[in-house]
Structure 1
Amino acid sequence: MILQEIIGERELLQRISVGDEEAFVEIFRHYQDPVFKVVYSYLKSTALSEEVLQDIFLKVWQKRDTLADLDSFKNWLFIVSRNYLVNYLQKLAKDKAMREQWITEQPIYENSTDYRLRERHLATYLQEIINRLPQQQRLVFQLAKEQFLTYAEIAEELGISPGTVRIHMSRALGNIREELKKYGMEYLLLYIVTYPILK
């Protein structure tokens, strides 16, 4: 996997390590295509490759507190991707349903434009889920993710307490997760973190 470091990567990793979602989006957008292409070269399946890609970057986010100490993020990402892919292929070999899905899906030509188009479709699906949230949950979610307001700023904007904002955000995220799970699209959970850049 040939990965090129992003300009200012060390600073981005520092920001991600303390939970900066905007910095994570920059890293995700920079590395998603090369990681996807490598995964697809093994799986030859668009759906499965997207799922693996999302899972890999979910692991990156979950390990965010360790990123600032890495000597080379791109080398670490390569190892994480390789290990996840090996484990996934082993699981694929044992899981009949996954194997049948893999076998029956026809490979298609992949390029960056194709992936961006799929990405936009998936983000549109997420937006539809957000639009169906109860009004207060939707407002809190959008103020946090679209306008990047803090809980205190949202509380002031809506005339409610920061604690109530936190409750609405927690419920909004829970409802989004449940909707995704209904359709077997848990791998889209990453878009909750990267939204709204992928709108």
Structure 2
Amino acid sequence: MLKVKTGDLDKMGLLYERHKKRLFGFFYNMNQNASLSEDLVQNVFVRMLKYKHTFTGEGSFAAWMFRTARNVNYDHFRKNKNSRFQEDVSSLQYRGNEMELEEEIDKKESVVQLNLALQRLPEDKREVLLLSKFRELKFSEIGEILGCSEGAAKVKAHRALKELRSVFLQLENKEL
């Protein structure tokens, strides 16, 4: 990014190739919409190019990039006030064996239930979980993204995980 900042704009393509999947996963886990997630990834790189002068190189690039992604996500939903999309269970395919099908259905239900539990969390808690558990960022980077200390990021992640567990169990008990 420092080379992009000094005018070597070809390096932005390299950054895009390296990080587009991570950003897509972040956005998809936030909004459950593949098309929107692709658009938001593009917006992140446009914004990174526009605000390249703000990258100092002191912190990690990933933290700066995800802070930009977080702002892009916030701006999009503030402007559009879109509803979140839920995963469709109808994508299950029969594999020929009833036992495999039952296992696949159970697994798919758990994933759907986890996604539903994630969507029921407040956005700030969902975001910290996505960054720590799904994007596997270090807590120092998460703290940098959220504008807090590493310790505070750990506490936020712990509390968010605790609440996710509670919501997941509530959903599970409703099914029984």
TM-score (norm 2): 0.44
RCO (CA 8 Å, sep 6+): is it higher in 1 or 2? 1
TM-score (norm 1): 0.39
